[in-house]
C-alpha cells in the first residue's frame, strides 16, 4: 500500500456575512485576517463568480500530518480565550473552522490528536474538512 503524503494542509477560521466589520473582528479576536473578501468581489472570471457576501479569513499552514501542529493548537487555544467575541459574531454571521488537505497521491490522510479534538469540541463550532487528491500513485 502506498504511503499517504500530504502536499499542503491548512486550518482556517472563516467568518461569513453581510457588511462584516473587518477591523472590529480583528480587534475583538486579536488576529489580523490573512484574506478578506468583499461582497461582489470577482472570485473567478470564467465563468464569472462574484462573492455573495463578505468573508474574513484567518489561516495557519499545517506541517505535521500526524496532527501535532503547534500552530493549529495554538490558534485553537487563542480562540477558546475569545469565546465571548466568537459567540457575538455567531449571532450575526456564519463562523466556521475549515481543515484543508491536498495531496499529490491517491491516498490522503490527516490525523487529529486527542488534544486538538478536545479543543474543537470546547469551541462548539462546525469543522469543515476539504480534501483534494491529484490521484497519482507513489512508487
Q: Is residue 2 part of a domain?
A: no
pLDDT in tens, 63-76: 876 767 788 889 99
Q: Which residues of 77-95 are buried (b: 16+ CB within 10 A; e: fewer)?
A: eebeebeebbeebeeebeb
pLDDT band for 16, please (50, 70, 90 cuts): very high
Q: Is residue 42 part of a domain?
A: yes
Least confident of 12-16, 25-29, 66-70: 66-70
* Residue 53 and residue 16 in contact, taking contact as beta carbons nearer than 8 Å: yes
Number of independent structural domains in the chain: 1
Q: Is residue 61 part of a domain?
A: yes
Q: Is residue 52 part of a domain?
A: yes
pTM, two decimal places:
0.85
Mean pLDDT of the chain: 88
Amino acid at each position: 500500500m502506498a504511503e499517504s503524503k500530504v502536499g499542503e494542509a491548512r486550518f482556517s477560521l472563516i467568518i461569513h456575512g453581510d457588511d462584516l466589520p473587518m477591523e472590529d473582528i480583528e480587534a475583538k479576536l486579536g488576529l489580523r485576517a490573512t484574506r478578506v473578501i468583499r461582497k461582489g468581489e470577482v472570485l473567478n472570471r470564467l465563468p464569472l463568480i462574484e462573492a455573495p457576501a463578505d468573508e474574513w479569513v484567518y489561516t495557519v499552514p499545517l506541517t505535521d500530518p500526524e496532527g501535532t501542529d503547534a500552530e493549529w493548537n495554538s490558534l485553537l487555544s487563542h480562540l477558546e480565550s475569545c469565546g465571548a467575541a466568537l459567540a457575538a459574531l455567531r449571532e450575526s454571521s456564519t463562523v466556521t473552522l475549515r481543515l484543508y488537505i491536498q495531496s499529490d497521491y491517491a491516498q490522503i490522510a490527516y490525523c487529529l490528536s486527542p488534544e486538538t479534538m478536545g479543543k474543537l469540541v470546547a469551541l462548539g463550532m462546525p469543522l469543515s474538512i476539504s480534501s483534494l487528491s491529484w490521484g497519482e500513485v507513489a512508487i
